[in-house]
Amino acid sequence: MTVADGEPLHRSLGLTDGEPLHRSLGLTDGELASVEEVLGRRPNHLELALYAVMWSEHCSYKSSRIHLRRLPTDGPRVLVGPGENAGVIDAGDGIAVAIRIESHNHPSAIEPHQGAATGVGGILRDVFTMGARPLAVMDPLFFGPLDSARQRWLLEGVVGGISAYGNSVGVPTVGGELTFDPCYSGNPLVNVLCLGALPVERLVLGRASGPGNLAVLLGSTTGRDGIGGVSVLASAGFGGEREGAADDAKRPSVQVGDPFEEKRLIEACLALLDAGLVVGIQDLGGAGLACATSETAARGGVGMDVDVSAVPCREPHMAPWEVMTSESQERMLAIVTPAAWPEVAELCRRWEVRATAIGTVTEPEVTPGGPVGRLRVLEGAGGAVLADIPAASLADDAPLYDRPRAAPAGLADRLADDPTGSEPAGDCGAELVALLADPSWAYRQYDHQLFCNTVVGPGGDAALLRLAGPGLPPSERGMAVTTDSAPRWCAIDPRAGTSLVVAEGVANLACVGASPVAVVNCLNFGNPEHSEVMWQLSEAIDGLAEACTAFGLPVIGGNVSLYNESAGTDIDPTPVVGVLGLVDALRARPPGVGLAEGASVVLLGRRSDGGPGHPHPLGGSRWAVEGRGRRGGKLPGLDLAAHRAACELVAALVAEVAGAPPGGTGLGGGDGGDGGDGPMVAVHDVSGGGLGLALAEMAIAGGVGVRARGIAGHAELFTELPSRFVVATHEPGPLVARAEAAGVPAAVLGAAGGRSVVMEGADGSALVDLQLAELAGSWRDALPSRLDAPTEGAGNARG
């Protein structure tokens, strides 16, 4: 076998001839040696380009794989675990739910609109690749403070990109998170989660089989956009201000999205799968054709011949390595039998989707070590062989690093710097107001209602959707999803902080009556070559594993985003956890967050931390970090069993409301029993901002004031002790009795009513005494007023 020499890659990359090619492509000298060992010869330029993208951090998880193995991945509902395009669980009633989360941090930092838009497009393809119709998107977003014009540009661009792509492609964005912290100023985070559903029997996996079958490229043409996205962009940090021009020069590595192409691609692919016309299907994402062809072949234990000249290109004179590594959007690779090909082509024509046979599945080569499927890149069918490599080596032989880990140097000082006792009380009312922010500026720009499934949308504790969609069997069930993070906790203690984040997700699901069934995670960290970042990553994975094991939750998918750094400074560790839950019967609206006039307000869960420390720890709280700039201390403890008991109680109480047959007063007001007569009329978990913020948000949502008594000062108002809920009820006696029977502490704090929000200390003095209208105004204006700040540095200093 002779392999044609590669094209002058140096020249097309604009490199000087003296620079070793493998290093410019992001491969180390050691990795080059591994490639030579796999091939038994020197790779040509095209082959080197293929290994460079596939062995990039982004594609290979070479720094994190060794740690990810510690996560629990099995469970009775799991149909597909990690490693496929999306995790899939059995939701019952013949319906499977697919879920996936990803980051698009680096592209969004360079070009926020397209970066965020193509993040949505990519995650949708991961989900419909499994045969699922994408039904909902969630977007956790992290930026620097909005007093900088650049941050406002980034936020506007990212939200606009999600809006433009998600709305047009026809998938509702049902929730997310918005976090501001200076650590994201040079490297914002844009994560995206997608949920889809499918009839169980339509489940397909991305693998090729059947030598002689055709590899068919569906969708958009292949251009020069996004070349090197995974290696140039996603697997390196940013230079920051000093190297702003160099960072801007990476803009051509950002792909450009076309939601209309994607919409047609979704409909065509789901129609192909419904008709049983494809053997396997795989999306083209990071590393483009190189990844899709090698992964489908490797998973199926076969080889593949790819005719690079058959690929429809957007511009002339594209080199084979460009065609193979382009990250042009809205493309899929389907494996099709020759007999089905005419029908596939006809169906694609109806949906106006381009379909081109670009390769064939080949028999694996028999070797002493077993069968080896080879990925060959050809110039014309039967033409010159431009590359010839073992398909599995791109994925399976990627390097695996156990990088050095060490706790950050200042950790002991940070833990010792506890704001709990040392930080004096201030004006609790003003501090509470500063924590309030209505996120609706963002989510009003997202279609969050399409498919008429959204029972609880953005702004609630978790999104709650009917388990329904075009082509699904009928079901009365609901599905719920939440994304959570707390970098301020994880910066202090990544292990405990990540466990607390999982707990928070489970609590959020309980508020809409859902029981958790599976977890996905997006691990956003700094530079893995920094030992403290590897320590943070390893600790966070342990915290994730511990909490998921305790709650019986399998981790069915995830994404690791490293090199989130700017000018040498890493972001705070930011594991984002998505938790998927189910509701057995969703017939009426759950209680919601809003208080109702006259209801008693009850705290479910412990009143204080039972340990040896302070009863109301403030370390890592929003009050301490955002309000006082104190980023150290000790996190509150998490009692996993107590947490589970509290969440199960709340989920059961909410499910009783949601599962009741519709009250049925017919047309007109039609609020479907919202805030009805059950034991519970409102519920909200106590999380960031503590009890004070929970009460304020419930008052604002209900348009009703509240008076809470006997609160032990600012510490009890702002502590973020987990496993706690505020519930409003017209029947406090029976509710408290039920809580006590379940082993969950319960205390009546006061009652809802009037037009003011009052929180009294143990001595009867008012810690907070604000007019509801004033509070609601601050909440509503917080985000718009910061965004409309006229010039850099002249903005509202709040927050």
Is 445 or 549 the residue whose CB approaches other proteins more closely?
445
- With CB under 8 A as the contact rule, the residue among 10, 263, 709, 780 that binds other proteins is 263
Alpha carbon distance 450, 471 (integer Å)? 15
Tokens 């084979």 label which residue?
Answer: 320
- Quick one: 28 or 449, whose CB is closer to other proteins? 449
Determine the Cα–Cα distance for residues 647 and 798; give it in Å rounded to an integer.
34
| Phi, psi at 585, each rounded to 5° | -135, 120
> What does the block give as tokens for 477?
């069930």
Minimum distance, C-beta of residue 584 to other proteins, in the bound complex (Å) = 15
Q: What gap in Å lies between CA 507 and CA 486, rounded to an integer?
A: 14
Q: Are 109 and 565 in contact (CB under 8 A)?
A: no
**Minimum distance, C-beta of residue 669 to other proteins, in the bound complex (Å):** 8
Task: Name which of 94 and 170 has its Cβ closer to other proteins.
Answer: 170
Structure tokens at 438: 């209505």
Name the residues annotated as catalytic.
58, 104
Among 111, 423, 447, 760, binds other proteins (CB under 8 A): 447
Q: Which stretch binds other proteins (CB under 8 A): 3-11, 256-264, 284-292, 338-346?
A: 256-264
Shortest approach of other proteins to residue 671 CB, angstroms? 6
SS (H, E, C) 297-348: HHHHCCEEEEEHHHCCECCCCCCHHHHHHCCCCCEEEEEECCCCHHHHHHHH
Q: Give the x-and-dash track for 348-387 against other proteins (CB under 8 A).
A: ---xx-----------------------------------
Q: Quick check: 662 binds other proteins (CB under 8 A)?
A: yes
Q: Which bin fits 704, alpha (ψ -120 to 50), beta or left (φ > 0)?
A: beta
H/E element, 431: helix 428-435
Binding residue for other proteins, selected from 36, 343, 427, 671, defined by CB under 8 A: 671
**Interface region with other proteins, contact rule CB under 8 A, candidates 10-18, 426-434, 667-675, 732-740:** 667-675
Q: Note whether 57 and 45 are within 8 A (CB).
A: no
> Whole-number minimum distance, CB 148 to other proteins, in Å?
21
- Binding status of residue 299 toward other proteins by CB under 8 A: no
In the complex with other proteins, the residue whose CB is nearer, 62 or 125, is 125
Complex with other proteins: residue 443 or 718, whichever CB lies closer: 443
Tell the smallest beta-carbon distance from residue 172 to other proteins (Å): 9
Nearest approach, Cβ of 596 to other proteins (angstroms)?
16
- Residues with Cβ within 8 Å of 670's Cβ and at least 6 positions away in sequence, in order, are none
- Residues 305-344 vs other proteins: string with x where CB under 8 A? ----------------------------------------
Judged by CB under 8 A, which of 258, 431, 570, 720 binds other proteins?
258
Positions 540 through 599 that interact with other proteins (CB under 8 A): 586-589
- Least distance from C-beta 135 to other proteins, angstroms? 11
The 10 Å Cβ neighbour count of residue 354 is 18
Q: Based on CB atoms, which residue is closest to other proteins, 422 or 665?
A: 665
Considering the complex, what minimum distance in angstroms separates the CB of residue 331 from other proteins? 17
Q: Which of residues 121-180 bind other proteins (CB under 8 A)?
A: 160, 163-164, 167-170
d(CA 244, CA 237): 12
If one asks whether residue 779 binds other proteins (CB under 8 A), the answer comes out as no
35 CB-near residues (< 8 Å, 6+ apart) = 27, 43, 47, 48, 51
Residue 509 token pair: 């699901």
Report the residue from 400, 406, 452, 773 that binds other proteins according to the rule CB under 8 A: 452
Number of Cβ within a 10 Å radius of residue 478: 28
- Among the listed ranges 25-33, 364-372, 617-625, 658-666, the one in contact with other proteins (CB under 8 A) is 658-666
Minimum CB distance to other proteins smaller for 76 or for 666 = 666
Distance CA 765, CA 415 (A): 33
- CA dist list (Å): 48 to 24, 290, 308, 688: 11, 12, 16, 48
Distance of alpha carbon 405 from alpha carbon 536, whole angstroms: 8
Q: In terms of CB distance, is 181 or 258 closer to other proteins?
A: 258
Total residues contacting other proteins by CB under 8 A comes to: 43
Q: Quote the least distance from Cβ 648 to other proteins, whole Å.
A: 24
Q: Can you tell me which of 67, 104, 264, 607 binds other proteins, judged by CB under 8 A?
A: 264
Tokens coding 368: 């002493």
What tokens appear for 330 in the block?
A: 């809205």
667 lines the binding site for other proteins (CB under 8 A): yes
Residues 195, 200, 205, 208, CA torsion sign: negative
Quote the CA–CA distance of 178 and 487 in Å, as a whole number. 12
Tell me: does residue 260 bind other proteins (CB under 8 A): yes
Q: Which helix or strand (DSSP H or E) is residue 566 part of?
A: strand 565-566
Q: What are phi and psi of 218, to 5 degrees?
A: -110, 145
Q: Identify the residue among 325, 420, 454, 778 touching other proteins (CB under 8 A).
A: 454
Answer whether 652's CB lies under 8 Å from 738's CB: no
| Least distance in angstroms from the C-beta of 259 to other proteins | 7
Binding mask 461-500 for other proteins (x = CB under 8 A): -----x---x------------------------------
Q: Which residue intervals of 521-676 are DSSP H helices? A: 531-551, 622, 628, 640-658
Compare residues 164 and 233 and give the one whose CB is closer to other proteins.
164
Residue (306 or 514) nearer to other proteins, CB: 514
Q: Give least dist CB 677 to other proteins, A.
A: 16
Q: Report the Cα–Cα distance between both ends of the chain, in Å, rounded.
A: 65
The residue type at 252: P
- Angle made by CA atoms 275, 126, 537, in degrees to the nearest 5: 155
Nearer to other proteins, 321 or 451 (CB): 451
Binding site for other proteins (CB under 8 A): 160, 163-164, 167-170, 258-261, 263-264, 351-352, 443-452, 454-455, 466, 470, 586-589, 662, 664, 666-668, 670-674
